[in-house]
Structure 1
């Protein structure tokens, strides 16, 4: 039977175009006709089929009857199971619950009994270990017992046996640990005896690879106390033995195979040589290696444990307190420093062999990686300390320096320069005075020259080193001069305040150092020619600071000298001429005292200060002295004849003595501004009104040049009585 196309049939019967015109009554006959046609086709198909449909229906009916019979049998079986078997099942469940409860009760009791038996077993194992004199077995048994007690079965904790067993186990463990500590203290004995002069340390090690010692160590390890004891001994070695050996004069001596004695001598400011320290450490570690380098458990030794705990700290102490000081402070010794590093490397290899260092890669020589920085720091520290020691020396140890006169032409022109250079030099020669490059003849402290020599050594060393060292030494050189500013005035303060010689020498020292600093940077750059520097080299900024330092102290001393002179004059009758008709002897004594003071300064300063500086200083003091003498007279309203005579005599002494204060007497006229004024004052004191009028010369004479009008009028009024001639003279002086 071919497939029947329903959709096509419906399209034929119901035409889409006639949807709005057809009626159901018209279409029903067509549908009925189509159904009938299909029935006929079905009969024809069944008639032609090979299957016997009637037989098939019959068999299906019989099968349905059999199935119904089976369902009835199963329903009957179900009823029988529900009535008989379910009763038996319920009874079995009740029996199972009862048996389960009985089993739980048995297991509960069994677990408690098992715990009791195990506790007894561990106690017996402990007793067996003690009888066998095995600390390890005893410790294992006690720890197993405590561990088992910490995880008891249900109900065991409620037994008195639990508390008793736990308490007893803890007591046994404490007693056992005390015995182990005692054995350790017997095997590792140390003692320290300290006095004012020395400290004696004795170490007695009874450790070896015997069964007894190994048993004690394993027991300590099982009880987790070995690390504690080894740490305690390691810290003793580091703090009380190794560090003192590194920092002090020490003697390490192995008196027997078991006894080692270390004697530490107490010497202040003492640092042992590195080779002596290494030799002592070799003896100590050799002794420790012989006694501690046996393996007692899985390639584990006490020496390795000690090294693991303190090797890093020991290396840091050794480098910081000993080896770092082997770094030289000059370039020549630095070039031969390989000898020292070789010895240190051998010692490092030795510590690896005795298994104190964990491996060969554990290096003491790591600090050498920064040798340039360390050398720079060491050199800087050395030079600064050397400079400071020089600055603390006596300033009165002197030497002569400088030239008497400035040469007309510069020496050393061996070859003719190029025309442009020659022209530039001519312009420079006209612009810059030659005195800039020469220092005048004077005396300086030897310490100033020593300091200058030291910085030249620093400069020469710096240019031979790497850029890191060179830069460090350049900065250190600048620090030397800043240190000079801080140290010398403070350390020599008392002398600089009281002794003129010290002040003059300090002034010259500052000037001399400043003079050299003007060209010091150029000399440095010449030596560094060809290098690329990332920092400027100059000392010119320090020149004025040093000059000011010298100026300040010299000026302060000049003020002190000035004050003494003024105090001498003002403490005499010269300060109270207004109320006196005649001066006492103290007036002349004060003048002579001032002259003696100036003479002493001359005796001290001549030959020390440069001639021009001495002349300026002396002229300043003499001029101040003369001004004060003039001022004393010019401010008095009435001067008696007797006092005028006294003043003339005293001031004449000054005129006679003052020129002797200079190296050339004629210098007094050139450098003392008030010198002629003093002479004119003496003339007025001893002269008549007619003489004064002659020296006035209608405002063109010497009196008019050196005296102000008010001063001269006041002086005339004080010296002479009021007469017509005086009035006429005063009228002329206006």
Structure 2
């Protein structure tokens, strides 16, 4: 029967889009249904299957199935009534058997533990009879291990307590004997005194049955690694490290006996070749004595190496081999000889099986040779610079030019017009003294320090960029170190000795002078290299100058205070209350002149001439000002005192010019010099003389004295007369 599509049939019946009624469509539907019935009958008629026989067969099957169900129900009832009772009885018997089996297993486990303990005891006895540490300790160790996890119920037996206690006691005794035997095989001793330490190593390890028995016994009870570790740490801390750090003598007394003598000397670090030679002797001895297998196809020497080789390598490199790195470029170029010796020593350590083969390198530090060389050079130069800075400043030398040229003649060169104009402007703008240093004295240490800095520069430009940059920064640190070290180390001298102050001032000026062009010299040598940092020392110039100025200023203040204290502690400070000065007034002035004369003797030739005359002029100027002030501030001066003051001040006029290299310098560098001379004239003169020097405001008195100062002096020196009143009326 072909597929029947209901939807298509309905669409056909109701396809008329016009209005329709149900009564109109019902006949069409009924007709379609009838047609379907006819088609179904025709289909069933033509079908090959016999529907009637199929239905009959189905009825028979239903009957048979029902019979089977009834039979199964019958079997179920029989099982529930008869078989189930037998099953319950079997389960009860099984439980009884299971409990019985548990009792048997419980007893069997206890018996097994008893038998096993007896077995271990028997093995121990056999080992003792055979004088074998390995068999004895293996049996006792197994017994103790087995007794730690006994079967259930075994702990409740008296046998357990006795066995555990006895086993542990026997094990302890065996270990004690075993340790004693080990100590006979591996003996170490340290005997220390104030002058030296003697380390004795006696290794009796031989390839024989007794030695192997002791080693195997220690390994079986898991104590061998502990003993080897202890011996390895002894080698590292008490033997290897002292050999690296101290002057030592390593000597093989016999095949089994080695002594290491450590000499206690201050600051006596051994050279690398001596250290390597001593280590070779020691490791050769150890290799001969420790080349015995102990566990996992590994020798005692290899086990010791595994324990300490990394720590030994680091200490050897950091505390010995790093010191072989040179601090100058010439030695660095020949450093390959040293690396070859170190490489041979590393190969030796691999041969004696202290180092794992091809897995550890002492020469790893050479990979950063540039960085290490830079650090070493920097440290060396800084230490050298500091040692120079702490030297005595009084060892001097003369430097500089006597006469600074007025102009610099430019050398003829094929330059274009714009360049020539620029150079001319530069030549006219810069002071002529910029590139010249005046004749003076400096400490030899200043020149020595400068020479060291030039060596640093010359070495830096020959090295790689890493080293060059490091040395450039170190050079700057040298001058910053100078600022920190010299004033502190020479503090007492700089506070008390004028010559030291002068030399320190000149040293600072000289170093600053050279730093003005030092960066340019460096850059010229670095021409053609690309730098990622600026090279300049100009910023340090003013710091050094200020350092020299600061200490010179402090010393000048001390000299000024000392002069003022001398004057103010004498009768010159109390003229107003006395009619006559005592001898201490003249003594104070003479003391000040002696002080200034001493400064002259110390400073002349040390300072540049222009600096000396300015400094001496400053002190004399202050001294003269103080003397004038002492008189001009007094309201009444007796005739006798005036005569004394005149004599004292005349002494100053006579002596002060000798304080200068050129006596005429006193007039140009001491402003109140003429005023002092006029003051002496007033002290010795009459009112007529004063009137003559006044000259109605046009004379020398009018030039060098204020009106009130002159009027005050006249009132203090002369009695109140008509002539004085007339003169005072003119001085306004």
Question: Is the partner of 1:437 in helix, strand or coil?
Answer: coil
Partner of 2:123: 125
Q: Deviations over 1:501-556 (max 9, x none)?
A: 11111111111111111111111111111111111111111111111111111111
Q: Is 1:439 the equivalent of 2:437?
A: yes
Once the 2 structures are TM-superposed, how far is the Cα of residue 211 of structure 1 from its aligned partner? 2.2
Query: Relative to structure 1, is the Cα distance of residues 391 and 87 closer, same or farther in structure 2, using a 3 angstrom cutoff?
Result: closer
Question: Where do residues 275-294 of structure 1 align in structure 2 (5 Å cutoff)?
Answer: 275-294=273-292
**Can you give the 5+ residue segments of structure 1 that lack an aligned partner in the other structure?**
none
Q: Counterparts of 2:488 and 2:40 in 1: how far apart (Å)?
A: 139
CA distance in 2, matches of 1:40, 1:443: 146
Match of 1:629 in 2: 627
For 1:6 and 1:695, how far apart are their aligned partners in 2?
155
Give distance in 2, aligned partners of 1:323 and 1:664.
64
> Which of 540, 546, 549 is 1:551 aligned to?
549
Local SS of the residue matching 2:232: helix
C-alpha spacing 1:720/1:335, structure 2 compared with 1 (3 Å): same
Aligned residue runs from structure 1 range 441-456, under 5 A: 441-456=439-454
Distance 1:182 1:611 in 2: 88
Q: Is the 8 A contact 2:563 2:592 kept in 1?
A: yes
Report the counterpart of residue 193 of structure 2 in structure 1: 195
Greater Cα shift, 151-160 or 702-711: 151-160
C-alpha deviations, 1:357-390, integer Å up to 9, x for none? 1122310111111111111111111111111111
Which piece of structure 1 moves more, 556-565 or 456-465? 556-565
Residue 186 in structure 1 maps to residue 175 in structure 2? no
Provide, for residues 175-217 of structure 1, a one-character-per-residue CA deviation record: whole Å limited to 9, x for no partner: 2222222122111111111111111100111113222212222
- Residue of 443, 460, 463 corresponding to 2:461: 463
Q: Tell me what 1:331 maps to.
A: 329
Partner of 1:377: 375
Supply the distance in 2 between the matched residues of 1:519 and 1:555 (Cα, whole angstroms): 27
Secondary structure (helix, strand or coil) at the match of 1:157 reads helix
How big is each residue's C-alpha offset from its partner over 1:31-69, in whole Å with a ceiling of 9 and x where there is no partner?
A: 9x9999999999x999x9999989x989x98x9999999
**Deviation for aligned residue 1:79:** 7.9
Cα 1:263–1:72 change in 2 (3 A) is closer
Q: CA deviation at 1:610?
A: 0.8
Partner of 1:389: 387
Does the 8 Å CA contact 2:219/2:295 hold for their aligned counterparts? no
Aligned to 1:668: 666
Relative to structure 1, the CA distance from residue 610 to residue 68 in structure 2 (aligned partners, 3 Å threshold; closer, same or farther) is: closer
Contact residue 562 and residue 624 of structure 1 kept, 8 A: yes
Q: Write the deviation string for residues 67-114 of structure 1: whole angstroms up to 9, x where unpaired.
A: 999999999988887777666665555544444433332222222211
Following superposition of structure 1 onto structure 2, how do residues 155-554 of structure 1 map, counting pairs within 5 Å?
Answer: 155-410=153-408, 413=411, 415=413, 417-554=415-552
CA distance in 1, matches of 2:675, 2:37: 167
- Match in the other structure for 1:149: 147
1:39–1:155 Cα change, 3 Å: same
Structure 2 residue 723 is the aligned partner of structure 1 residue 712: no
- Partner Cα separation in structure 2 for residue 591 and residue 486 of structure 1: 39
Counterpart CA distance in 1 for 2:159 and 2:660 is: 116
Rounded Cα–Cα distance in structure 2 between residues aligned with 1:314 and 1:452: 42
- Following superposition of structure 1 onto structure 2, how do residues 58-97 of structure 1 map, counting pairs within 5 Å? 92-97=90-95
Whole-angstrom CA distance in 2 between matches of 1:716 and 1:134: 127
Q: CA deviation at 1:636?
A: 1.0
| SS state at 2:326 partner | coil
Please name the residue that 1:599 is paired with: 597
C-alpha change, 1:648 and 1:102, in structure 2 (3 Å) is closer
User: For residues 557 and 97 of structure 1, do their structure 2 counterparts lie closer, same or farther at Cα, with a shift above 3 Å needed?
Assistant: closer
SS in 2 for 1:385: helix
Query: 2:541 aligned with 1:581, yes or no?
Result: no
Q: 1:707 to 1:146 in 2, by over 3 A?
A: same
1:301–1:576 CA distance, 2 compared to 1 (3 A): same
Instruction: State the partner residue of 1:648.
Output: 646
CA gap of 1:107–1:726, structure 2 versus 1, over 3 A, is: same
CA separation in 2, counterparts of 1:704 and 1:67?
A: 161
Q: Distance in 2 between matches of 1:360 and 1:433?
A: 68
Higher deviation after alignment, 593-602 or 212-221: 212-221
Instruction: Return closer, same or farther for 1:37/1:498 CA change in 2, 3 Å cut-off.
Output: closer
Mark the CA change 1:557 to 1:104 in structure 2 (over 3 Å): closer, same or farther: closer
Spell out the pairing of 1:697-708 with structure 2 (5 A cutoff): 697-708=695-706
Shift of 1:698: 1.1
Contact 1:136/1:219 (CA < 8 Å) preserved in 2?
yes
Shift of 1:154: 2.5
Q: CA deviation at 1:151?
A: 3.0
Q: CA RMSD in A?
A: 3.4
Give the conservation status (yes or no) of the 8 Å contact 2:515–2:541: yes
Asked whether the 8 Å contact 2:188–2:200 carries over to 1, the reply is yes
Cα–Cα, structure 1 residues 323 and 18, in superposed 2: closer, same or farther, change >3 Å?
Answer: same
**Residues 382-429 of structure 1, C-alpha deviations (whole Å, 9 max, x = no match):** 111111111111111110000000134547937454433332221112
Please state how far the C-alpha of 1:3 moved relative to its aligned partner.
Answer: 10
Counterpart position of 1:137: 135
Residues 569 and 591, structure 1, Cα contact 8 Å, conserved in 2: yes
Deviates more, 1:258-267 or 1:294-303: 294-303
Go from structure 1 to structure 2 and tell me whether the alpha carbon gap of 1:131 and 1:658 turns closer, same or farther (over 3 Å shift): same
Partner of 2:101: 103
**Separation in 1 of the partners of 2:135 and 2:578?**
118
CA contact (8 A) 2:124 2:139 kept: yes
Q: 1:287-321: per-residue Cα shift (whole Å, max 9, x none)?
A: 11111122233311111111111111111111111
